[in-house]
Structure 1
């Protein structure tokens, strides 16, 4: 915990960088010389796992033809991955904190590579669904180690730059997934092109495993088995499962009964919080709930959840509109979204460099730019509801991408700025779990608005897209409100701090 005399961190909270000094590193003195190479390995692997969230959407028609898959199995090819990914994030972060992040990272990459091999060789849709669930669990094992290793290997401004590269990776992987999927399907053909979507992970995974042994530092003291908090793991996994299941199954599970699972999940989550408080008085809990008493962490986690609710769903409805409404091929639909990635990559790198000076105001600026971009996108579709609209979307998507780069990585840097390194994996897992839940809520809400409008307007996809886009914008405005609350709180904190006499 920070003392009153500690200098304020980037979000204006006293002592935000105290953990850096207590970790024994001033600046980057004594830092691991392999840290940038280790980061490259982490980012490539993280890109591979996040890409598989979006790349499969454009492959579904090819999977349906190649495997004669029923709609229920196609839904599980997508939702099974997302569900397993979200379920294991927090326990995986905890496992990396307690047993060493390199071991957890390499185990995840090995499992992901094997599951990709099995998915590509699937003889039937049931086999593919199982492989995708294993893939999702492996992706959930890998990703908390990436944020944990950044916390472990980098300090100060370098940490911001590292998180900037991670933010660029997240933005590019989400936006470029449909394009890469379309290219691979074009190369492999309609019957078997979908297999290339999974096979492409195999050489990347093998290379990442070899390089991880060379560049990612090992070590990490093993703790007692009770420190893994098995009861807490079970309660949290149950709560996340109950909340996520009706969301990821929204297009297949009709009827109102599924929504009862969400309050049941919230009840189990309350039980989990009570258990962690009791367990924390005797042992080390899986998640230190005092993290949420830190303003930077609590508001940052909320911003991340709301932003991913609006951000991820953009590409879901965009590909639906272009492919189903305008008859675009998978490749052309993917090309239409690349402007977002082109904008996100440089702004994320820039955001990582300047976030420690500007703080949460940078995140607020990014959210404004994304909102402006999506509002302009609505106007483009309104004024040009023709097959040529895909090219006209480039400018507003580029603006939205610029804003996104100033949101994802700066928000992650600020949110984790006060987290001790020993808790970095767990804190990163909690943060990403919130993002997965936000993404699932966003896709469910935006998808519901889109498909209900398609049905009520007898196939007017342009109008449905604009209607659903308003839901995206609502999520972004809610995230902006949370960011502005933090900016105002930061201003009050700085105003109340005693000034040092000249």
Structure 2
């Protein structure tokens, strides 16, 4: 379900704040994590309803999902450093305020463009809020307490992924107060207000020598990624005009400028967002590519699958949400087993998990073409369980594998970069899989039944996902055998 987010930095514990921990403080942090992941997944079941009420095409819907992930990912490192410098509780409250306001804007959006802007703002607020959860848990507890707290956090994020789809489907279908899909965002108002009141229980903490935020680097990276994402999402519907090629060329220039700027900062001893010297480490470089590849498949899969079962096959939002549940159960089960299995069997386990993930998607592709209308949901359950289990077995322990190739003093920066790759990968997966999905729908004969057209579009889009996962599996198998010189 891709609901795990590693901390953006590691920080030493502070004994004076440990004494201030309380059950309410822990619950508040868990609630903050819950709503950020819930809003990542809840959109899936509301997409067809959004398309209808907002007259939105695939590109606009893609931006609704990708915009949140992109803003979230790009600003994660900045959010962590701002919390270190100005106070984690202060940034948690600021991020929570921003999230509530942005959720209100999402729920009141009069058109697709307004919703996209609000989702970008929501992702920015989530990036301010989320890193403080990890940092505060680290300073609030000792080693034993941290293990319990982080275990509860992992469980909470997994439950948020399930609730986002099942509860989200129920909310949309229930049409509370006649709000339709808007209720999935407006429900954050009372939840966020309760969390804001409870933030009084959180201890304040900061780092006296906190790293500065590299705003120029963030600006260059943001511009480069947006200029790349824009033609990928808009190009298919626009007929690939000349500006799409220009946008991609400018994107490359921006990203090269970003890498050059980061290298200059690191060379003169300043605080880059990412020290480019880390990429000289082959294990870390290939591990980052694995993260980008495998996380690029999650959001795109759920987007295309939601369109298949709701628009193509006619399932209601709640029925579609419950259909996602087996994958979530499989993911949580594998996530709980993965650490012990990897410890006993080795890192090859993650490669096997990736192969199971790819096999599950392949099974879904095969099953999609034979579904009747209305479909028999139980026919998909084995495939959904398989891909969810494979996803959890490959994704959950991946961070430890990749960070194992960097020195401890770089672990915080490296973890922040990997967190960013998770979110950015999700955004670009939506764009790339969407290319195949939209092109297949546009090329289909209008005389073909709607269910068949959407099943074909889903299968074509998932070819990217299967290819990306298989490539990631090959790299994982290689990394499991790789031993850097001197280690």
**TM, length-normalised to structure 1:** 0.79
What residue number does 1:277 align with? Answer: 263
Matched, 1:240 2:215: no
CA pair 106-481 structure 1, distance change in 2 beyond 3 A: farther
Matched, 1:268 2:261: no
Q: How many residues end up aligned between the 2 structures? A: 469
CA pair 121-288 structure 1, distance change in 2 beyond 3 A: same
Aligned to 1:407, what secondary structure does the other structure show?
helix
CA pair 308-220 structure 1, distance change in 2 beyond 3 A: same
Superposed counterparts of 1:99-498, under 5 Å: 99-122=86-109, 127-148=114-135, 173-174=160-161, 176-188=163-175, 191-215=178-202, 218-221=205-208, 223=210, 227-249=212-234, 252-256=237-241, 257-280=243-266, 281-294=268-281, 297-352=284-339, 355=342, 360-416=347-403, 426-458=413-445, 459=450, 460=452, 461-490=454-483
What residue number does 1:7 align with? Answer: none
What residue number does 1:14 align with? Answer: none
Structure 1: stretches of 5+ with no match in the other structure: 1-18, 498-502
Structure 2: stretches of 5+ with no match in the other structure: 1-8
Aligned to 2:397, what secondary structure does the other structure show?
helix
Q: In structure 2, what is the Cα distance between the partners aligned to 1:116 and 1:231?
A: 28
Deviations 1:93-139 (A, max 9, x none): 33234444333233211210122133334456555444323212112
Q: Which deviates the most, 323-332 or 212-221?
A: 212-221
Q: Is the 8 A contact 1:339 1:401 kept in 2?
A: yes
Q: In structure 2, what is the Cα distance between the partners aligned to 1:404 and 1:333?
A: 20
CA pair 443-463 structure 1, distance change in 2 beyond 3 A: same
Q: Is the 8 A contact 1:148 1:421 kept in 2?
A: no
What residue number does 1:93 align with? Answer: 80
Q: In structure 2, what is the Cα distance between the partners aligned to 1:106 and 1:451?
A: 40
Match of 1:81 among 68, 93, 103: 68
Q: In structure 1, what is the Cα distance between the partners aligned to 2:139 and 2:378?
A: 43
> Cα distance, 1:271 vs. partner?
1.8
> Cα distance, 1:52 vs. partner?
1.9
Q: Is the 8 A contact 2:95 2:126 kept in 1?
A: yes
> Cα distance, 1:483 vs. partner?
0.8
Deviations 1:307-356 (A, max 9, x none): 11122211111111111221111221222111101111122133245555
CA pair 450-163 structure 1, distance change in 2 beyond 3 A: farther
Q: Is the 8 A contact 2:288 2:421 kept in 1?
A: yes
Q: In structure 2, what is the Cα distance between the partners aligned to 1:474 and 1:307?
A: 10
Q: In structure 2, what is the Cα distance between the partners aligned to 1:232 and 1:299?
A: 22
Aligned to 1:393, what secondary structure does the other structure show?
helix
> Cα distance, 1:399 vs. partner?
1.5
Q: Is the 8 A contact 1:174 1:312 kept in 2?
A: no
Aligned to 2:42, what secondary structure does the other structure show?
helix
Q: Is the 8 A contact 2:433 2:464 kept in 1?
A: yes
> Cα distance, 1:421 vs. partner?
8.2
> Cα distance, 1:441 vs. partner?
2.6
**TM, length-normalised to structure 2:** 0.81
Aligned to 2:206, what secondary structure does the other structure show?
coil
Q: In structure 2, what is the Cα distance between the partners aligned to 1:142 and 1:296?
A: 30
CA pair 75-446 structure 1, distance change in 2 beyond 3 A: closer
Q: Which deviates the most, 249-258 or 30-39?
A: 30-39
Q: Which deviates the most, 270-279 or 97-106?
A: 97-106
Aligned to 1:467, what secondary structure does the other structure show?
helix
Structural RMSD (CA): 3.8
Q: Is the 8 A contact 1:62 1:192 kept in 2?
A: no
CA pair 237-445 structure 1, distance change in 2 beyond 3 A: closer
> Cα distance, 1:262 vs. partner?
3.2
> Cα distance, 1:81 vs. partner?
2.9
Q: In structure 2, what is the Cα distance between the partners aligned to 1:169 and 1:259?
A: 42
